[in-house]
Amino acid sequence: MSTEGRSSAGRRQQGQPIRRRDALYGLGASLGSVAFTAMMASDLARGAEADAAATGADAPPAGPLAPRPQQLPAKAQRCIFLMMEGGPSHIDTFDPKPKLEQLHLEEFVRSGRDKSAMESGKRYFVQSPFRFRKAGESGADMAENWEHLAGVADELCFYRGCQVESVNHPTAMYQMNCGNRFGGDPAIGAWTTYGLGTVNQNLPGFVVLPAVSYPQGGAANWGNGFLPVHYQGTPLRPTGSPILDLEPPPGVSREQQRQTLDLLHELNQAHAARHPQHGELQARMANYELAFRMQMEVPAVLDLAGETADTLAAYGVGTEPTDGFGRKCLLARKLLEEGVRFVQLYHGSWDSHDYIARAHGQLVRAVDQPIAALIADLRLRGLLDSTLVVWCGEFGRSPDNGVRGGTAYGRDHNAKAMTIWLAGGGVNAGHTIGATDETGSEAVETVHHVRDLHVTLLRLLGLDDSRLTYYHAGRFKQLSQFGGEVIGELLA
């Protein structure tokens, strides 16, 4: 056997039998990888042809973001992910705990694994400052300050059984967004565009609408990780021009810019022919072309002037405190209409360690009307059945806290209990799944690790976590890290 034919990982001596591990590694790294690439290329072509047949347009050239067929039958074809960064309190939003009214300000004492997330010194049970009510025909539990969301309660599926592993913001954010507490892995939006591509080749497939300050963990929350760079999230700036350099420099016409890109493409192609394995160069070339096409299309997409006065008012645009998040929700709807596959919106910070009545009260007022308007608008336009909407934070909050004086009650981090809700195509709308214990400290019914939530979200989008894999660092990797199960109760 030649030196080139040996597995460098196994370092076998000539004449030794091939180990099963070496054979599998070699298959994944060589012929198996080629076959997988060929299969994905075939999927790209079929997806482009199917989309062209549906729209009557000419099929676009196959590429990394060309539309691909779902792996499994599913209603949802796109996703809006509403990330409430900082850890919203389930106890003060969608999971009422009357027991805390009885225990309010009683000393809280636990030990071992049941210790509070950030326990130190004397701690006390804290009741919610908000009153709750039953909303909609489904009788969904909502704090009364969710005035607008109550109007679409029957579109929502509440889930109270999810748990994560970390009580630290950056690691919990990474785990919720990427499946890995330590960062560096692809975000769920990257996996989605990797699996499904995107309809509009003039826009990114994965768009992020962050707050003025990035969430803890930064841009890695929407990174491509080990996937090709085509799949990373594209953040739009919350102030000023959403994307820098949308217009050519002064004195440069579109025609001159096109000629420059054509010359650059010719030079890059010659270099790529000499270095066919240089994937980053191919991605950079594609990004130049996408940037040029975005200059033509993005300004109209980002312009809200074409929306009616009634629509702007419904989203809370032009009034405080809803203007900022209202614009994001309206822009998310427009991006979906233009063919973007995955849009993630950030709002923070929900990290209310004290004065939770004031802090959560202001935060709810800022997002309540825009989110309700988004869901109603998607329904009105016939988009909700084909759109998955997700609302969550990185963890929940504890039923206890230290008392800092007066009524400055708040809550600490809690990885063992939280509330997530889903809406849109394929979800079990009008139901509440799972439960936490009587104080809200831990999930006790339909309990699942966040990896199972990720598997479920992919399933709702027609993707199979066990088949949506990418070969990297010696193995085929997936969003769930090592596999998970669908939470069947969340599916209609």
Mean pLDDT across the chain? 83
Q: Which of 29-33, 79-83, 315-319, 341-345 has the lowest mean pLDDT?
A: 29-33
Structure confidence at residue 61 (pLDDT):
45
**Total number of domains in the chain:** 2
Q: Please check whether residue 74 lies inside any domain of the structure.
A: yes
pLDDT of 170 higher than 90 = yes
Structure confidence at residue 46 (pLDDT):
42
Domain with 113 in it = 63-240+306-490
**Residues 450 and 400 occupy one common structural domain:** yes
Q: Which of 309-318, 407-416, 462-471 has the lowest mean pLDDT?
A: 407-416
Single residue among 44, 62, 80 that ends a domain in this structure: 62
- At 172-182, the pLDDT tens digits run 999 999 999 99
Structure confidence at residue 305 (pLDDT):
86
Report yes or no: 410 and 445 within 8 Å, Cβ to Cβ: no
**Average pLDDT of the segment spanning 232-247:** 70
- Per-residue confidence at 13, pLDDT binned at 50, 70, 90? very low
- At 179-237, the pLDDT tens digits run 999 989 999 999 999 999 999 888 889 999 998 889 999 999 999 999 998 899 999 87
**Residues 227 and 352 occupy one common structural domain:** yes
- At 451-489, the pLDDT tens digits run 999 999 999 999 999 999 999 999 999 999 999 999 999
**Average pLDDT of the segment spanning 334-357:** 94
- Per-residue confidence at 17, pLDDT binned at 50, 70, 90? very low
Q: Please check whether residue 297 lies inside any domain of the structure.
A: no
| Domain CATH number, residue 336 | 3.40.720.10
**Residues 45 and 120 occupy one common structural domain:** no
What angle separates helix 450-460 from helix 188-196, to the nearest 10 degrees? 30
Q: Please check whether residue 219 lies inside any domain of the structure.
A: yes
Task: Count CA within 13 A, CB hemisphere, residue 442.
Answer: 7
Q: How much of the chain exceeds pLDDT 90, in percent?
A: 63
**Residues 195 and 329 occupy one common structural domain:** yes
Q: What are the angstrom distances between the C-alpha of 427 and each of 14, 31, 108, 235?
A: 57, 39, 38, 28
**Average pLDDT of the segment spanning 117-139:** 86
Task: For the sheet with 387-392, list strands across it.
Answer: 234-235, 206-209, 342-348, 78-85, 387-392, 420-424, 156-159, 431-433
pLDDT of 354 higher than 50 = yes
Q: What is the pTM of this model?
A: 0.80
**Residues 36 and 75 occupy one common structural domain:** no
Q: Please check whether residue 263 lies inside any domain of the structure.
A: no
**Residues 72 and 57 occupy one common structural domain:** no
Assigned token pair, 23: 């054979």
Q: Please check whether residue 248 lies inside any domain of the structure.
A: no
**Residues 116 and 149 occupy one common structural domain:** yes
Single residue among 40, 62, 84 that ends a domain in this structure: 62
**Residues 41 and 183 occupy one common structural domain:** no
- At 284-305, the pLDDT tens digits run 666 656 655 555 556 667 788 8
Q: Please check whether residue 2 lies inside any domain of the structure.
A: no
Residue that wins the pLDDT comparison between 422 and 306 = 422
Structure confidence at residue 48 (pLDDT):
39
- How many Å apart are CA 164 and CA 394, to the nearest integer? 8
**Residues 46 and 142 occupy one common structural domain:** no
pLDDT of 255 higher than 80 = no
Single residue among 62, 78, 95 that ends a domain in this structure: 62
**Residues 187 and 41 occupy one common structural domain:** no
- At 432-449, the pLDDT tens digits run 999 999 999 999 999 999
Structure confidence at residue 303 (pLDDT):
81
Report yes or no: 82 and 347 within 8 Å, Cβ to Cβ: yes
Structure confidence at residue 213 (pLDDT):
87
Q: Which of 177-181, 280-284, 364-368, 370-374 has the lowest mean pLDDT?
A: 280-284
**Residues 424 and 407 occupy one common structural domain:** yes
- At 391-411, the pLDDT tens digits run 999 999 999 886 655 567 889
Q: Please check whether residue 7 lies inside any domain of the structure.
A: no
Structure confidence at residue 31 (pLDDT):
35
Residue that wins the pLDDT comparison between 42 and 137 = 137
Q: Please check whether residue 282 lies inside any domain of the structure.
A: no
